Amino acid sequence: MASRIIIHVDMDAFYAAVEQRDRPELRGRPVIVGGTPEGRGVVSAASYEAREFGVHSAMPAAQAVRACPQGAFLPVDMRKYRRVSEEVMAILGLHAGVIEQVSIDEAFLEVTDRARDFAAAARIARSIKREIRGELKLTASVGVGPNKFLAKLASDLEKPDGLVVIEPHEAEGFLAPLPVGKLWGVGPKTEKRLQERGLKTIGQVAGTPVEELRKLLGPWGDVVHELARGIDERAVEPVREAKSASAEQTFPEDLDNVRDMRKALAELSREVAGRLQGEGVRARTVAIKVRFGDFRTITRQTTLGEATDQAEVLRQTAYRLLDGVDRAGQGIRLLGVRGAGLEQALAQLSLFDEQAQRRGQLERTLSYIRRRFGPEAVRWAREGLRQK
């Protein structure tokens, strides 16, 4: 049976990992971003070394200092994280037609149209991880599943640097032993209510008649019952406006000389420049995509000193990126050029946008619940999701 295939990508300890990447002296050390060594503020992110001391995000910094006095406490450098986030999203953009960015370091990719089966989706997932590691020197955990819920669950199972695939027939087995708190929308209160009825694992919830769950949780019981059985029909919905402009071309015959490749890149650069100018934005990141005759696909990208909407700059950059690709004598089947990290979008981003984005995510979830379970379920959903 045809199934949807969705990938969820979640960067590992994102802010802390970016700092460790950029400051080698911090590698292997507990790094705590947000909050001061004097214990003011709140922790935004903790490296895995810091987590071993029990430090986690949203913890008051004072508490983090007590738990891990030797930690390196760093201020939040949002500008930098946003730029890296744009680079991550640019890589993801090359692997899916539809991307839903959920937060600064997390996104869903709809790959049903690109991956024939889950093995093919796993290959995409591995490429994504490889490119993020190779180009950005960061790690991501990736989950592949037949829906958003399972894909997100999968990405969380083997963090950090994980890759977990949950195929439809495996969903029940994956879910059964997990605590009910792993279901989205089941916060501490709902969890307690379920536990009081002896429902501790997702498997137990799945095996409970929906009427009983309804009695316990109201209309929210319907949602929980579906999730417990691995059912989630939410679509991957692109949230943000175009954050990139790209163009690609598949050649009737594989290209094997550089002149033809450059000619194609020049053409694609003109096309991308036209789109950027049309949108009134400039790209800070330029990427190329290269698919070889054997379908192996790689991307290369670079960040410009100054954002551009000029075909000439894109072209020169694309040439340079192509020069860095080891073709090993292989013909090229497809080339693509992409401009991302659009400057206008970057300048507009603020904490407010981040919150608006989260609200947008919440609203989409609620509208799904409204469509599927009726308006009464929404009230419960709001409560359940607020507990998270």
DSSP-assigned beta bridge partners for residue 8: 108, 143
Shortest distance in whole angstroms from residue 371 CB to Mg ion = 29
Closer residue to Mg ion (CB): 14 or 373: 14
Binding-site member from 11, 72, 223, 346 for Mg ion (CB under 5 A): 11
Segment interacting with Mg ion, rule: CB under 5 A, options 12-20, 21-29, 115-123, 208-216: 12-20
Segment interacting with Mg ion, rule: CB under 5 A, options 22-30, 46-54, 99-107, 309-317: 99-107
Going across the sheet that includes 106-110, the strands are 98-103, 106-110, 6-11, 140-145, 163-165
Segment interacting with Mg ion, rule: CB under 5 A, options 97-105, 148-156, 269-277, 298-306: 97-105
Q: What helix, strand, coil percent values describe the chain, rounded to 5?
A: 50, 20, 30
Closer residue to Mg ion (CB): 11 or 109: 11
Query: What is the three-class DSSP state of 274?
Result: helix
10 binds Mg ion (CB under 5 A): yes
Closer residue to Mg ion (CB): 57 or 303: 57
Closer residue to Mg ion (CB): 10 or 309: 10
| Radius of gyration for the chain, computed over Cα atoms and rounded to the nearest angstrom | 23
Residue with tokens 């045809």, as numbered in its chain = 2
For residues 205 and 199, is the Cβ–Cβ distance under 8 A?
Answer: yes
268 binds Mg ion (CB under 5 A): no
Token pair for 62? 């004072």
Alpha-carbon distances of 196 from 81, 380, 386, rounded to whole Å: 42, 19, 21
Closer residue to Mg ion (CB): 10 or 226: 10
Shortest distance in whole angstroms from residue 253 CB to Mg ion = 43
Binding-site member from 49, 86, 100, 105 for Mg ion (CB under 5 A): 105
Active site residues: 106
Residue with tokens 């693509």, as numbered in its chain = 336
Segment interacting with Mg ion, rule: CB under 5 A, options 105-113, 177-185, 257-265, 319-327: 105-113
What is the per-residue burial (b if ≥16 Cβ within 10 Å, else e) of 215-226?
ebbebbbbbbbb
Token pair for 222? 């319907």
94 binds Mg ion (CB under 5 A): no
Binding site for Mg ion (CB under 5 A): 10-11, 14, 105
